[in-house]
């Protein structure tokens, strides 16, 4: 039952916006505006003083709406929120997002108000997201309660990564960045004060969500710790969970107290809990999504042996350093494999590991090399560093390389993950984006590519430890490897 209610937040047939406004400077205007952009269900603006808002008929109360309402978005002054929720309950609404601030986070009577809000919701079996949040953004259904002006921010396309954020502003900044970077999002959820729905509820839902392959989180503090750990354990054997937990430092924990009022708790406790439950810890926004992109597009690695296949010698060296720093191995290849590589490469190429095809390379050098490396049985992951700008590499290299790699990988018992590093500008990123569309994640630097491989290794290790590696791979092959 609860999961069906959670579903209403992401895929409602109708949405009432309580506190809808005709004033473009108001949150209640922008929510209706942003919903209208993509959402194709019914939108009911609720405002006792308006007949019509943004071309939609307005109602004085949810009780005056004749149809069923699946989801209410509440943006009215905090003191009247409990009363509004009561009306929603009477109307039979089961899901409400409370955008309004002025609850637990302000202390004092805010705490009482939040209690009352939740008691009211419970009376009706209603679930609450927030208060003090920016709600949800679901590209697939067009549900978008983030109230920022689309002239000032971008919204990412549909994709495989779910993102749960305890900070609304940070969540919005990430969406905006993801839109520019071309990262697809399955669901974004701003949890705010977590008065009712929290990470645990969402994990239970997202683990079953076929649109979500990887779950990412920005966390300041977890309250229901034991429950969280139990649910995470059940999640991470099926989908990767990556968390950015702030408040690592004492000064950071102090800052959290005055931000969301969460108790940050000792960082070591979180760190241990993450390790115990298989959560991969990220140390920054780029780190979080670098790893998430890799895990959403590529299978986990069965071991720590990395092959580096590069057009630029210097980048090969730096990739080796970065991989080694992370505890990965860049092993020498066997004489047999070196010999095979030597046969297909230029005389000036270096057939060891890194395999340096050099700046004089042509497409076939990369394509023959990836086949030899994948078939060698000597490596568990590949970092590909193509240097698209060099003259011998054609514009078709991406298709040619990825098609060959996929073909070889299909024949292997366990597919070998490949990630790319593409330092460069506009032309390079045009091709890099094509590679990502075809399933190979690309990074601006070798260090970030190495971290992505580390995440694939780290998650593979967790799956093996839990005896579900092959099950996951089978499932991944069916759904993710096209």
Residues between 96 and 135 that touch its own copies (CB under 8 A): 101, 106
Closest distance of CB 196 from its own copies, Å:
21
Is residue 199 involved in binding its own copies (CB under 8 A)?
A: no
- 265: Cβ–Cβ under 8 A, 6 or more apart, which residues? 221, 222, 247, 253
The answer to whether 116 and 82 are in contact (CB under 8 A) is yes
Closest distance of CB 430 from its own copies, Å:
10
Is residue 144 involved in binding its own copies (CB under 8 A)?
A: no
- 375: Cβ–Cβ under 8 A, 6 or more apart, which residues? 408, 412
Find, among 217, 219, 209, 99, the residue nearest to 158 by Cα.
209
If the CB atoms of residues 16 and 328 are measured against its own copies, the closer one turns out to be: 328
Residue 27 tokens read as 């949150």
Cα 183 to Cα 369: distance, rounded to the nearest angstrom = 29
User: Interface with its own copies by CB under 8 A: which range of 74-82, 364-372, 382-390, 404-412?
Assistant: 382-390
Is residue 384 involved in binding its own copies (CB under 8 A)?
A: no
Is residue 446 involved in binding its own copies (CB under 8 A)?
A: yes
Is residue 157 involved in binding its own copies (CB under 8 A)?
A: no
Instruction: Identify the helix (H) or strand (E) that includes residue 259.
Output: helix 250-259
Is residue 220 involved in binding its own copies (CB under 8 A)?
A: yes
Find, among 151, 176, 150, the residue nearest to 163 by Cα.
176
Residue 270 tokens read as 């979180």
E strands, 132-269, in order? 136-138, 143-144, 158-165, 185-190, 214-219, 241-245
Q: Which residue(s) pair with 310 in the sheet?
A: 356, 385
Is residue 335 involved in binding its own copies (CB under 8 A)?
A: no
Closest distance of CB 439 from its own copies, Å:
23
Is residue 459 involved in binding its own copies (CB under 8 A)?
A: no
Is residue 172 involved in binding its own copies (CB under 8 A)?
A: yes
Distances (CA, A) of 233 to 166, 205, 267, 277, 314: 21, 14, 19, 5, 41
Residues 2-41: x where in contact with its own copies by CB under 8 A, - otherwise, as a string: -----------------------x----x-----------
The single residue among 47, 144, 165, 376 that binds its own copies, judged by CB under 8 A, is 165
Closest distance of CB 9 from its own copies, Å:
21
Closest distance of CB 382 from its own copies, Å:
15
Closest distance of CB 206 from its own copies, Å:
21
- 35: Cβ–Cβ under 8 A, 6 or more apart, which residues? 15, 17, 43, 142, 143, 144, 145
If the CB atoms of residues 254 and 470 are measured against its own copies, the closer one turns out to be: 254
Closest distance of CB 166 from its own copies, Å:
7
The single residue among 234, 427, 465, 479 that binds its own copies, judged by CB under 8 A, is 427
User: Interface with its own copies by CB under 8 A: which range of 70-78, 145-153, 338-346, 399-407?
Assistant: 145-153
Is residue 428 involved in binding its own copies (CB under 8 A)?
A: yes
Is residue 154 involved in binding its own copies (CB under 8 A)?
A: yes
The single residue among 11, 38, 115, 177 that binds its own copies, judged by CB under 8 A, is 177
Closest distance of CB 174 from its own copies, Å:
7
Q: Is 178 left (phi over 0), alpha (psi -120 to 50) or beta?
A: alpha
Q: Is 296 left (phi over 0), alpha (psi -120 to 50) or beta?
A: alpha
The single residue among 23, 68, 325, 471 that binds its own copies, judged by CB under 8 A, is 325
Closest distance of CB 167 from its own copies, Å:
3
Q: Exposure string (b/e) for 124-140, b if CB count within 10 Å is 16 or more?
A: bebbbbbbbbbbbbbbe
The single residue among 40, 49, 152, 478 that binds its own copies, judged by CB under 8 A, is 152
Residues between 228 and 257 that touch its own copies (CB under 8 A): 244, 246-252, 254-256
Is residue 391 involved in binding its own copies (CB under 8 A)?
A: yes
If the CB atoms of residues 317 and 414 are measured against its own copies, the closer one turns out to be: 317
Residues between 258 and 317 that touch its own copies (CB under 8 A): 258-260, 283-287, 311-317
- 230: Cβ–Cβ under 8 A, 6 or more apart, which residues? none
Cα 412 to Cα 180: distance, rounded to the nearest angstrom = 36
Cα 36 to Cα 26: distance, rounded to the nearest angstrom = 16
The angle subtended at Cα 470 by Cα 207 and Cα 199, nearest 5°, is 20
The single residue among 50, 263, 344, 390 that binds its own copies, judged by CB under 8 A, is 390
Count of residues touching its own copies (by CB under 8 A)? 85
């Amino acid at each position: 039952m609860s999961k069906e209610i959670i579903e209403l937040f992401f895929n409602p047939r109708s949405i009432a916006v309580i506190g809808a406004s005709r004033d473009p400077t108001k949150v209640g205007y922008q929510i209706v505006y942003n919903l209208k952009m993509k959402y194709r269900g019914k939108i009911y603006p609720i405002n006792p003083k308006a007949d019509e808002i943004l071309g939609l008929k307005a109602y004085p109360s949810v009780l005056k709406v004749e149809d069923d309402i699946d989801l209410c978005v509440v943006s009215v002054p905090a003191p009247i929120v409990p009363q509004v929720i009561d009306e929603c309950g009477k109307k039979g609404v089961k899901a409400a997002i409370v955008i309004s601030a002025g609850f637990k986070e302000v202390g004092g009577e805010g705490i009482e108000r939040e209690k009352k809000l939740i008691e009211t919701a419970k009376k009706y079996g209603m679930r609450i997201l927030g208060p003090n949040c920016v709600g949800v953004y679901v590209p697939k259904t067009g549900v978008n309660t983030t109230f920022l002006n689309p002239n000032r921010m971008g919204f990412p396309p549909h994709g495989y990564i779910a993102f749960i954020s305890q900070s609304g502003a940070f969540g919005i900044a990430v969406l905006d960045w993801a839109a520019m970077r071309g990262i697809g999002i399955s669901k974004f959820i701003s949890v705010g004060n977590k008065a009712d729905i929290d990470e645990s509820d969402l994990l239970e839902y997202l683990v079953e969500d076929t649109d979500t392959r990887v779950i990412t989180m920005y966390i300041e503090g977890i309250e229901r710790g034991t429950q969280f750990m139990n649910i995470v354990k059940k999640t991470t054997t099926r989908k990767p969970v990556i968390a950015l937990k702030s408040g690592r430092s004492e000064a950071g924990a102090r800052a959290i107290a005055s931000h969301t009022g969460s108790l940050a708790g000792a960082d070591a406790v979180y760190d241990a809990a993450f390790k115990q439950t298989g959560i991969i810890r990220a140390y920054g926004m780029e780190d979080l999504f670098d790893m998430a992109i890799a895990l959403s597009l590529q299978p986990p690695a069965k071991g720590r042996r990395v092959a580096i296949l590069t057009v630029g010698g210097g980048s090969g060296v730096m990739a080796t350093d970065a991989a080694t720093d992370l505890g990965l191995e860049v092993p020498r290849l066997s004489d047999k494999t070196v010999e095979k590589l030597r046969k297909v490469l230029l005389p000036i190429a270096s057939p060891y590991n890194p395999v340096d095809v050099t700046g004089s390379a042509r497409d076939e050098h990369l394509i023959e090399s990836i086949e030899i490396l994948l078939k060698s049985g000597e490596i568990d992951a590949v970092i590909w560093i193509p240097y698209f700008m060099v003259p011998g590499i054609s514009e078709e290299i991406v298709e040619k390389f990825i098609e060959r790699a996929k073909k070889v990988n299909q024949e292997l018992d366990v597919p070998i993950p490949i990630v790319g590093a593409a330092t460069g500008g506009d032309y390079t990123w045009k091709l890099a984006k094509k590679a990502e569309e075809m399933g190979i994640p690309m990074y601006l630097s070798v260090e970030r590519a190495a971290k992505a491989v580390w995440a694939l290794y780290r998650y593979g290790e967790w799956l093996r430890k839990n005896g579900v590696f092959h099950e996951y791979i089978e499932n991944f092959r069916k759904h993710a490897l096209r």
